[in-house]
Amino acid sequence: MKLLITGASGLYGSKLAKLAIERGIEVYSSDIQDTSISGNFVKLDISGRAQVGEVFDGIKPDVVVHAATLTDVDKCELNKELAWKINVDGTINIAKAAKRLGAFLVYISTDYVFSGEKGYYVESDSPDPVNYYGLTKLEAETVVMSMMPESDFFIGRPSVMYGSTPAAGKVNFALWVIESLRKGERIKIVTDQWNTPTLNTNLADMTLEVVERRLSGVYHTCGATRVSRFEFAEKIADCFGLDKSLIDKVSASQFSWPALRPVDSSLDTSLAQRAFKCKPLTMDKALEQLKRELNEKQA
Q: Which pLDDT does position 117 carry in this prediction?
A: 97
Question: Does 243 map to a domain?
Answer: no
Q: Which pLDDT does position 207 carry in this prediction?
A: 98
Residue 51, burial from CB neighbour count under 10 angstroms (0-12, 13-18, 19+) = middle
pLDDT tens-digit map of 103-119: 999 999 999 999 999 99
Q: Which pLDDT does position 40 carry in this prediction?
A: 94
The rounded Cα 232 to chain-centroid distance in angstroms is 17
C-alpha triplet 51, 57, 59: angle, nearest 5°: 100
Residues whose CB is less than 8 angstroms from the CB of residue 277 and which lie 6 or more positions away in sequence, other chains included: 209
The number of folded domains in the chain is 1
Q: Beta strands of 222-266 (E only): which ranges?
A: 227-228, 247-250
Q: Which pLDDT does position 37 carry in this prediction?
A: 79
Q: Count CB neighbours of 241 within 10 A.
A: 9
Question: Does 249 map to a domain?
Answer: no
Q: Which of 152, 128, 146 is nearest to 138 (CA)?
A: 128
The rounded Cα 83 to chain-centroid distance in angstroms is 16
Strand 247-250 to 187-190 pairing:
parallel
Strand 217-219 to 153-156 pairing:
parallel
Q: Do 240 and 178 contact (CB within 8 A), yes or no?
A: yes
Q: Which pLDDT does position 103 carry in this prediction?
A: 98
Q: Which pLDDT does position 166 carry in this prediction?
A: 83
Q: Which pLDDT does position 297 carry in this prediction?
A: 83
Residue 111: CATH number of its domain: 3.40.50.720
Q: Count CB neighbours of 67 within 10 A.
A: 25
Question: Does 78 map to a domain?
Answer: yes
Q: Which pLDDT does position 34 carry in this prediction?
A: 74
- Gap between the Cα atoms of 92 and 96, Å rounded: 6
Total number of residues shown for the chain: 299
Q: Residues of the chain whose pLDDT is less than 70?
A: 36, 168-169
Question: Does 80 map to a domain?
Answer: yes
The rounded Cα 194 to chain-centroid distance in angstroms is 17
Which range marks the domain in which residue 104 is found? 2-162+198-224+266-281
Question: Does 87 map to a domain?
Answer: yes
Question: Does 233 map to a domain?
Answer: no
